[in-house]
Amino acid sequence: MEKFRLSAFADEYSDSFEEQCSALKAFGYNYIEIRGVDGKNVSTLLDEEVARVKSILDKYGLGVSSIGSPIGKIKLDGDLNSHFALAERVFKTAKALGANNVRIFSFYLPDGKTREDCKDSVIRALCHLLDLAESYGVTLCHENEALIYGESPDCCLELLNYFDGRLKCVFDMGNFVLDGYNPYEAYKKLYDYIEYFHIKDALYAGAIVPAGKGEAQIKEILSDYKSKNEGYFITLEPHLQTFSGLNALVGKSFDNPYKYENQKLAFEDAVKHLEVLL
C-alpha cells in the first residue's frame, strides 16, 4: 500500500464541481475532500445534487477521502436540533458518496462562557453526533480550529481521550501555528488519534503560505508519521487566496505575503509546492 494518498479541497480551485474533478485528475490526484459544490456547501446538497456529484466523481475516477462538513461550527447555545438534522443530511451524503470520514468541529463557546463551563455540553453534543454518525457507518474526525472548544492541543486531546477512539483527529498543522501553538508538539500529543492531515502552512505572524514556506513543520511531521504508517490521507487545503465562502469558513481573512491573480493560479502553486515538499 502507498505510504499516503493525496486529496484536496478543490473548491479552492473552482466553484464548479466538474472543474474541481477535472483539475485534480490533471494534477495526478485520485481523491477529493468535498466541501463546496457549485457554490453550495456540501451540507446543503439535495438528493438529486448528491447523485450528480456521484456521477461526476465516477466520470473522473475520483474517490472521496472525507466530507469537509461545517458540523460543529456553531455556537454551543445555538439551535442544536437543527444542526443535528443538518449533520444527518451530511452523513447520508457521505454514505451515498462512499466517504468513510466526515470532518467536524467542537463548537464555539457562548458569550461569557469558559471552556470549563462548556465541557459537559460539548461532550453531550459530540456524543449525539457520534451516535448518529455510527448509525450511518461513518467516522467523525475533529479538526483543530480557532475559537472552538478544541482549539488547543490539550483541549483536542481531552476530547479524543474521552471518546477513546470513537472520535478521530484531522490534524491541521497550519491552524495550530495561526493559533500560536507549536505544531510538532501538538502532533506528538495527538499522534495516537490522527486519522488524516490537512496540509496548509502558515506563519505565526498570521499569514497562510504555500506548503514548506511557513512554520508549520509539515515536512518534519509527515516524515515522522510516514515512517510508522501507511495508507493515510493528506488533504491539501491551501487557503492562499479568498475563494467562495472562505470568510464564512474561517471567520476571518488573512493578509498573505503570497499574492496571486486568481484562485486557480493560487491552487496550482499550492500543488507545486506540496509536490516539492513531499
Q: How confident is the model over 181-231, as pLDDT tens digits?
A: 999 999 999 999 999 999 999 999 988 999 999 999 999 999 999 999 999
Residues 84, 71: Cα–Cα separation, whole Å: 8
* pLDDT of residue 150 exceeding 50: yes
Quick one: average pLDDT of 92-108? 98
Specify which residues 209 forms β-bridges with.
201
191: which DSSP letter?
A: G
Q: How confident is the model at residue 258 (pLDDT cuts 50, 70, 90)?
A: confident
**How high is the pLDDT of residue 255?**
59
Q: What is the pLDDT of residue 2?
A: 74
The confidence score (pLDDT) of residue 254 equals 52
Gap between the Cα atoms of 267 and 255, Å rounded: 17
Structure confidence at residue 259 (pLDDT):
85
- Residue 72, all three cell numbers: 460543529
- pLDDT of 248 over the 60 cut: no
Q: What is the pLDDT of residue 277?
A: 95
pLDDT beyond 70 at 244: no
Sign of CA dihedral 214, 143, 230, 266: negative
Containing domain of residue 231, as a range?
4-277
Residue 97, pLDDT above cutoff 70? yes
| Tally of structural domains, the chain | 1
pLDDT of residue 24 exceeding 50, the answer is: yes
pLDDT at 177 over 80: yes
15 DSSP 8-state letter:
S
* pLDDT beyond 70 at 250: no
**Three cell numbers written together for 114:** 469558559
Determine contact, residues 144/171, Cβ cutoff 8 Å: yes
- CATH number for the domain spanning 39: value is 3.20.20.150
Position 271 pLDDT exceeds 60: yes
Q: Which distant-in-sequence residues (6+ apart) come within 8 Å of 47 by Cβ? A: none
Question: What share of the chain has pLDDT > 90, as a percent?
Answer: 90
Q: How far apart are the C-alpha atoms of 126 and 83, rounded to whole Å?
A: 12
Over residues 69-88, mean pLDDT: 98
| Residue 266 pLDDT > 50 | yes
Q: What is the mean pLDDT of residues 112-125?
A: 97
Residue 152 pLDDT exceeds 90: yes
Look at residue 251 and tell me whether its pLDDT is greater than 50.
no
Q: Sign of the CA dihedral 175, 179, 184, 188?
A: negative
Distance CA 135, CA 252 (A): 35
